[in-house]
Copies of this chain bind each other. A is one copy, B any other.
Amino acid sequence: MIGRLNHVAIAVLDMDEALKVYRDTLGGIASEKVAQPDHGVSTVFIELPNTKIELLEPLGENSPISKFLERNTQGGIHHICYEVDDILAARDQLVANGARILGDGEPKIGAHGKPVLFLHPKDFLGTLTELEQA
């Protein structure tokens, strides 16, 4: 079912500080910062040769990463995202196996403009896991 690792998302308190680490210190190639008000975050992608790191900064008052950053005051890895060929078939197979999908179970359009779902961390080794239509 799972294909490529699309990205690893790291939640950060301050994008400028995060860019000092990932662009200036680690030498990563950083995209422009993009506000994604529908998702309550601003994003920067660090392009690696085989995948990417998604830096997430809270945007607005009800950012979905705010609670995570209250628990992880230095930031931290927020989720990982795998590509799947058919997100509805993947969802149905996971649900048949007893796994829980977050929200209403219907794919939403994610930060890359493709349908995504988030799987319940308790069913996936304590790891918030995103599936994205390839």
Contact = CB atoms under 8 A, between A and B. Distances in A.
Interface string A28-52: 1000000000000000000011110
A8 B6 CA distance: 12
A109 interface: no
B21 A2 contact: no
Nearest to A98: B25
Which of A8, A77, A82 has the most B CB atoms < 10 Å from its CB?
Answer: A77
Copies of this chain in the oligomer = 2
Interface in A65-89: 72-77, 80, 82
B127 A75 contact: yes
Nearest to A131: B26
A51 B49 contact: no
